[in-house]
Structure 1
């Protein structure tokens, strides 16, 4: 979102969905902190690096114009941590913290400072509700009996993932995206082409091993089914839970 054209593309996409507050990462704006009222009346708050610095990281919020009068404060700790405090009604107030953690190319000391910034943002103003969103650049993995993690983690935990879990446990936070089952993501075109080629080669390799003696139609069908199933599993397919004869890729 470095240029105005990038901003226009994003606003065009937002016009097709219902939204009120959206946190964004990798803003890469040249000003260290700014507020802008967009042409359609919505607000953009962001924090980037000062002029002359390498333009990386950067965070911000798009806030719907209907909520303009509900905004209490926008506060940024760094180009990786910022918050917006709102008062939805007379009774409650809400704080949303947007984060964008450094990648694994940064050392643990810098990541430690990032988590200190997150803690500072969370403690700055006490609110009834606090939500932290964004990119922690961490792999949580599957649940290993920690109460802060749900049953829908993915993959294997890395060192940064353990830092995030420790941070959440120390502050009684829940890592909420692990509590909800994710939709299956369709692979991109390049990945599909690679899988199709691998699938074809696996079929050819297994086809050459077919027995050609004393086979009736049922045995032939079974062997073909086994060949296709094994080839599909090798390129990322999985058995359908409801029927062992079905595959999904």
Structure 2
């Protein structure tokens, strides 16, 4: 975060049990929620100077949480999400999307929203038919979980920010192993705010 000059960062799979906020050094504070020290857990890391701007913290589950901040008179909602992996039961996946829908529906329309999440899916390269919610610079082919991301973006009038920017592969790929490469972490933003979001 220091090297890339990031002020707010969503983190997933923290595996920390509890519902707390704690300083993690170097001028950053972590707000997190988890129910099991072996799986899941979500959090949002803030630069210390923004901690006093936090108005509300909603810890919905060990897969969804949000922070509301007021920065220079602007209400900003930061949502951290961690979708179930490909092999998980459909019921667990539906519960995650239902929780995320509820969080989004509780945020007034005039407020800004950014979701930083590990959606465990691929929205894929290209955007034919989905130009209103994504760019064409995704990775791999779309899978079922990626389609759920696109459907959510359409429902919530959001854009999959990462796909609008042509970046070097090492900046697009979020996981590499055994010659495989994937992009499963995405940033979503209300489409009216897209021009105001900068993505490294």
What TM-score comes out, normalization by structure 2 length?
A: 0.78
- For residue 97 of structure 1, report the CA deviation from its aligned partner: 0.5
CA displacement, residues 174-199 of structure 1 (integer Å, 9 cap, x when unaligned) = 111111112133998985xxxxxxxx
Greater RCO (CA < 8 Å, at least 6 residues apart): 2
CA 1:20–1:54 in 2, change beyond 3 Å: closer, same or farther?
closer
Question: Partners in 1 of 2:123 and 2:78 — Cα distance?
Answer: 21
Q: What is the aligned counterpart of 1:183 among 168, 172, 181?
A: 168
Q: Tell me what 1:25 maps to.
A: 12
Could you say if the C-alpha distance between residues 180 and 41 of structure 1 is closer, same or farther in structure 2, counting changes exceeding 3 Å?
closer
Q: 1:160 aligns with which of 145, 158, 165?
A: 145
1:210 maps to none
Aligned counterparts of 2:50 and 2:112: Cα–Cα separation in 1? 17
Structure 2 unmatched ranges of 5 or more? 180-200
Q: Quick one: which of 110, 114, 133 aligns to 1:148?
A: 133
Which residue pairs with 1:43 in the alignment?
Answer: 29
Higher helix proportion = 1
Which one of the candidate residues 13, 17, 38 is aligned to 1:55? 38
Q: Report the 3-state secondary structure (helix = DSSP H, G, I; strand = E; otherwise coil) of the residue aligned with 1:61.
A: strand
Which residue does the alignment assign to 2:158?
173
The answer to whether the aligner puts 1:115 opposite 2:115 as a matched pair is no
Alpha-carbon shift at residue 123 of structure 1 (Å): 2.2
1:79-118 paired onto structure 2 within 5 Å: 79-90=62-73, 92-118=74-100
Count of residues paired in the alignment: 173
Shift of 1:165: 1.2
**SS of 1:87's equivalent?**
strand
Q: What is the rounded CA distance, in whole Å, between the counterparts of 2:17 and 2:111 in structure 1?
A: 34
Preserved contact between residue 104 and residue 156 of structure 2 (Cα < 8 Å): no
Residue pairs, 1:193-208, within 5 angstroms: none
Distance apart, 1:80 and its partner CA: 0.6
SS in 1 for 2:162: helix
Distance 1:19 1:155 in 2: 27
How far off its partner does 1:38 sit? Answer: 3.9
1:138 to 97, 121, 144: 121
* Contact 2:16/2:37 (<8 A) preserved: no
Normalized per residue, the structure richer in strand is 2
Offset, 1:144:
2.5
Contact 2:123 2:150 in 1 (8 A): yes
Moved more, 35-44 or 16-25: 35-44
Displacement of 1:63: 0.9
Taking a change above 3 Å as real, the CA distance of residues 181 and 109 of structure 1, as seen in their structure-2 partners, is same
Which protein has the larger Cα radius of gyration, Structure 1 or Structure 2?
1
1:183/1:57 Cα in 2 relative to 1: closer, same or farther (>3 Å)? same
